[in-house]
Structure 1
């Protein structure tokens, strides 16, 4: 009788939970969430959804992701795609890049894919219209040994090399390669003194030890770069190596010839590493105890105008760590001046610890993603986190509280139905990365943005409301005088209830809170350019710039 009562109790609890809470799609949306449109790719579909999980736009490809995707300022979609290759296969491979217009028409395609080379993981849309691409190429064992590789550390007949190149799109198909960088040009080793790159590893942190195996166990895929992100202000590229558990910064201002050497470019080091961080034992500056990164993804320098601008944010997966759990890091770059990083040969590159660490506040093991994933710094200070393996997107505020959460309902076996519980590890709803775009992002100018249905089928059990104003309500905002010396006046249809002022480096200078802000006394500010973020009280914001005389 006792077991029957327990079964009935369990049934009622499970029944009520199922009825009362969504199982997929939007799980929560609070007033503290940053209002915008979230972009992600799942299977052959790329979705742009609002904060209630309703589809704003959708693009369909013939191919599964390969893996990154970006919404460009003109409304076009740039997407990596996966095509077949019988010779080069590992997690994250692709081989193809596609560009679609807002209406879903394919307007450009580029392939770099055969038995000797393959695009993989990340791409990046450059400000000049070109595209940065990440590719693996094959070098045979003879060339690997010539580069100083210990033959005992070779498995099979090939070793994979990593390179980055910039392509200028040509017409509807193809492009010109206008810049290249190759890790093979920046190797060191202390195994074979007959080779030209023989040297003391610890004295050359600007180079990579070709005999450090990391988590590759000597396999051909020994580096597994999984991210390339470009910083326009510094003209630098941030690279992530999953199997080295390191991040690197290189100079993009070089010519292709300079990038293959050790001098040249704005920073004078050619294509050598300007900075590295995460696992100092790779360059003999520490032990496993000093390691801080574990198979990380998506490191990038936070752009100017955002909170913590100039810092690196990344998703630290926890791959191979015991116990297994994931974290979000923010770390300050040890910059002597913009783009030039300090280094003491007696110590590894700083910082010793990140400035900010997020993990699950209740139990670290509850937040764990062994692969893919990412984190995005949002304008309001929140962070959008993608727990990729289980398609879980969630946003946390500065205190670590979850203020928005979503489960991707699109899987390799079809779209999930609301109210029915599935196993994401079986059905596979993986999301490589997710990006939230503000409502005033240029891509949305002149577009008809009418929310459609949710991706999942069935009825929602969550009464989601967009806690924001119409983006057009802020269209006619006026700030004057500009430049300003003393009082800055604000004129808007909407009631402005909060204003944040940031300096040109993205540092928050002052916050104003009031029921109806119309005038700001900025006489205390130093002469210069400032970014002003205005809020309407419903978490919708818009950015304006002004000059302080």
Structure 2
């Protein structure tokens, strides 16, 4: 993608705002013609929800633990989820400690605990194609170990320093696992503070290594890196990591053995466990200044899967933490490479691109800004799903950056909200929101009959048709018989231009120019939404096909 887009006009904002319904939680705006037909997965407190575009619950899983934080729906219909068990020895935002797997019916079929005085799972896990699970782990380095590694003692303000580790676990039984691969950041450090200690060298000449004394303007926290995401690219056999505190992303080789992963040679790309690529803050390797910093507390960088628009590029949510003025962005960037997975290694300059290839930020209706959490996902139809995590606000934008669907998580630490409640009164933070298309293998043969929305006192007529206009709705409109068998009669004082029928998952199943006698015998039995268009006005009515 070679273009860039920044702030849009206030006029566009007013158009979007005018189309919004009166809902305060759940589905706020919904345009079934442009929204990607899919089911959205997110976790809140002990619950994980799978909802359709009308906000109705398709499935729900219950854990004994609040999030810890990532959750994934696997192709076989099982749910992989990290949980927070409350480690009191290692305490920082995002800690979890247990990884769980549930079947479609909600039964716990595997769990694996990573929590002790010296290590804890946190933030992310990733389901591997071979059935194994990548797990992100913080492990303890004593101050003596940190100093021996080259840390400036003046930058050690706590009693320990956290190493970041990735382990690959092969599940065994109900609660066991074998660690089959391991990578540690402490094996890939450099420092120019003390020549008598380990890892001494020239920082600027070794961008494949991490300067143990770079803090990106932050104090000497034990949690100096705060890795908040690990994602895997099967085609390249690479892992991409995100450091919130250092404002960088890193790519490493997963094709190595554990021994090779601790060194700087071996693997497909010949660099062992060193960084193959890094981006976002060239100050960290002495090839830029503060003005060159591009990432600010970012979350969820990942490779766009094959078959999607901009496949192979990296998409992420750039939070904008510690930046003034405060605003967030969605970035899409393409790392320069000589061949797939072999990235251009600059001699004396920063890793390219100099700016993100695509940038999105705009009011939604207020400025897009999430201090923590959040995600962005490229969808098959070219739309992008954005999760504004600290307010539990999901929006889907089309290729022209129009908002075609928006949803506010109606559940949080104070319980489930009712329609009409102010979501600002109830913390409803959401780590990520991910859409799965209706053709996703997990849904094959499953009962996807929707239940009620999560929020109380919901109004599906509003949720499924924000363009509903009262003037049109109140005019004489006759639709009969309902339930209908073969032919639906539609009569109105308005001139009806167009007719669309959607199933209960929001999928368009029929469209036609207006006809008073509409044949529907080909529809399967069930609940449908009939949308009638009259000029710029629309109305939606529920119908039942028998």
TM-score, structure 1 length as denominator?
0.81
**d(CA) in 1 for partners of 2:464, 2:507:** 21
Residue 383 (1) aligns with residue 384 (2): yes
Determine if contact 1:36/1:439 at 8 Å carries over to the other structure: yes
5 Å-filtered alignment, 1:12-51, equals 21-30=22-31, 31-51=33-53
SS class of match (1:268): coil
**d(CA) in 1 for partners of 2:21, 2:346:** 57
Could you tell me which residue of structure 2 aligns to residue 513 of structure 1? none
Determine if contact 1:228/1:238 at 8 Å carries over to the other structure: yes
Q: Say which of 167, 170, 178 aligns to 1:168.
A: 170
Could you tell me which residue of structure 1 aligns to residue 372 of structure 2? 371
Could you tell me which residue of structure 2 aligns to residue 428 of structure 1? 427
Could you tell me which residue of structure 1 aligns to residue 76 of structure 2? 74
**d(CA) in 1 for partners of 2:371, 2:179:** 34
Could you tell me which residue of structure 2 aligns to residue 4 of structure 1? none
**d(CA) in 1 for partners of 2:158, 2:356:** 39
SS class of match (1:162): strand
1:428-448 deviation per Cα after TM superposition (whole angstroms, max 9, x unaligned) = 111100110000100001101
SS class of match (2:369): coil
Could you tell me which residue of structure 1 aligns to residue 346 of structure 2? 344
**d(CA) in 1 for partners of 2:464, 2:60:** 21
SS class of match (1:389): helix
Determine if contact 2:303/2:313 at 8 Å carries over to the other structure: yes
- How many residues matched? 457
Could you tell me which residue of structure 2 aligns to residue 452 of structure 1? 451
SS class of match (1:142): helix
SS class of match (1:168): strand
5 Å-filtered alignment, 1:72-471, equals 72-360=74-362, 366-423=367-424, 426-460=425-459, 462-464=462-464
Q: Which shows bigger deviation, 456-465 or 97-106? A: 456-465
Determine if contact 1:132/1:166 at 8 Å carries over to the other structure: yes
SS class of match (1:201): coil
1:310-354 deviation per Cα after TM superposition (whole angstroms, max 9, x unaligned) = 110000000000111000000011111000000221210000111
Structure 1 residue 307: deviation in Å?
Answer: 0.3
**d(CA) in 2 for partners of 1:275, 1:334:** 10
SS class of match (2:462): coil
Q: Which shows bigger deviation, 65-74 or 396-405? A: 396-405
SS class of match (2:150): coil
1:65-104 deviation per Cα after TM superposition (whole angstroms, max 9, x unaligned) = 0000000000000000000111111111000000000000
SS class of match (1:203): coil
**d(CA) in 2 for partners of 1:135, 1:414:** 30
Could you tell me which residue of structure 2 aligns to residue 519 of structure 1? none
Determine if contact 2:256/2:267 at 8 Å carries over to the other structure: yes
**d(CA) in 2 for partners of 1:361, 1:458:** 28
SS class of match (1:192): coil
**d(CA) in 1 for partners of 2:508, 2:291:** 51
SS class of match (1:366): coil
**d(CA) in 1 for partners of 2:237, 2:142:** 33
Q: Which shows bigger deviation, 27-36 or 460-469? A: 460-469
**d(CA) in 1 for partners of 2:363, 2:401:** 7
Structure 1, unmatched stretches of 5+, are 1-16, 476-492, 495-549
Structure 1 residue 459: deviation in Å?
Answer: 3.3
Residues 469, 415 of structure 1: alpha-carbon distance in 2 compared, 3 angstrom cutoff? closer
Determine if contact 1:145/1:151 at 8 Å carries over to the other structure: yes
Residues 467, 400 of structure 1: alpha-carbon distance in 2 compared, 3 angstrom cutoff? farther
Residues 253, 52 of structure 1: alpha-carbon distance in 2 compared, 3 angstrom cutoff? same
1:167-191 deviation per Cα after TM superposition (whole angstroms, max 9, x unaligned) = 0000111100000000000000000
Structure 1 residue 20: deviation in Å?
Answer: 5.6
Determine if contact 2:38/2:437 at 8 Å carries over to the other structure: yes
Structure 1 residue 145: deviation in Å?
Answer: 0.3
Determine if contact 1:69/1:79 at 8 Å carries over to the other structure: yes
**d(CA) in 2 for partners of 1:337, 1:385:** 30
Residues 400, 174 of structure 1: alpha-carbon distance in 2 compared, 3 angstrom cutoff? same
1:384-405 deviation per Cα after TM superposition (whole angstroms, max 9, x unaligned) = 0000011001101111111000
SS class of match (2:420): coil
Structure 2, unmatched stretches of 5+, are 1-17, 466-499, 510-521, 524-546
The RMSD of aligned alpha carbons is 2.1
SS class of match (1:310): coil
Determine if contact 2:23/2:463 at 8 Å carries over to the other structure: no
**d(CA) in 2 for partners of 1:463, 1:292:** 37
Stretches (4+) displaced over 4 A: 465-475
SS class of match (1:282): helix
Residues 272, 467 of structure 1: alpha-carbon distance in 2 compared, 3 angstrom cutoff? farther
**d(CA) in 1 for partners of 2:506, 2:426:** 40
